[in-house]
Chain A
């Protein structure tokens, strides 16, 4: 079993819709949770990070962490064609190991 599971998609939504992404994990040692965005042929860039269970908002983006269920989510409101990219969840344990999910390809159609 992989330590971090993420549906690879693709996920296609019309412009203006809410995009919902999620990951599950099996390692209770993971403490720090992140979402990265990767455009084609580029390295990933950090979107959001959180340490504790609960919600965190940043503009159109909301990250949720439920440590009891080992489940994290990312919501993108009012999606734009420029949001089309691959979104990767990531998490670290106390030893500094940074692990990524498989990434979900998102396509926002005008």
Chain B
């Protein structure tokens, strides 16, 4: 079982470039999340999705976009990279039968992004 898979693991971007961070899960989870974690800090929610076709903003959505066309995939798009987006990005997924009462969230290994 692969769980949550993120690609790439590392990336260096130049200011103004764009990229997509890929996230896929094979557990048939309905909820998926994107977080960023700055050094020595906790996880800040960027976007989340409670099912295919449904996405919503978290704490820090500016500069990012997401889509959820399938249950398995939840890509995160950076349109115009800025140094402030240098961070470690984590994708996670969980299952919920009752809205909001989700069980354990499983995390990917993270993507280390540097914007120079």
Contact = CB atoms under 8 A, between A and B. Distances in A.
A107 interface: no
Nearest to B50: A96
A73 interface: no
B107 A43 contact: yes
Interface residues of B, number: 29
Given A8-B40, A99-B45, A102-B42, A93 B107 contact: no
Interface stretch (B14-22, B68-76, B77-85, B93-101): B93-101
A49 B105 CA distance: 11
Contacts of B96: 96
Contact of A95 (B35, B41, B99, B103): B99
Given A6-B42, A88-B42, A96-B31, A46 B48 contact: no
Interface in B83-116: 90, 92, 94, 96, 99-105, 107-110
Nearest to B49: A96
Interface in A7-49: 8, 31-32, 34, 41-46, 49
Interface string A65-97: 000000000000000000000001010111111
Contacts of B108: 43
24 contacts: A8-B40, A8-B41, A32-B100, A32-B102, A34-B104, A42-B110, A44-B43, A44-B105, A45-B107, A46-B105, A93-B100, A96-B31, A97-B45, A97-B58, A98-B33, A98-B92, A98-B102, A99-B45, A99-B58, A102-B42, A103-B41, A103-B42, A103-B43, A105-B40
Which 9 A-B residue pairings sit nearest by Cβ, starting from the closest? Answer: A43-B107, A102-B42, A94-B100, A100-B43, A103-B42, A46-B104, A96-B50, A100-B42, A96-B100
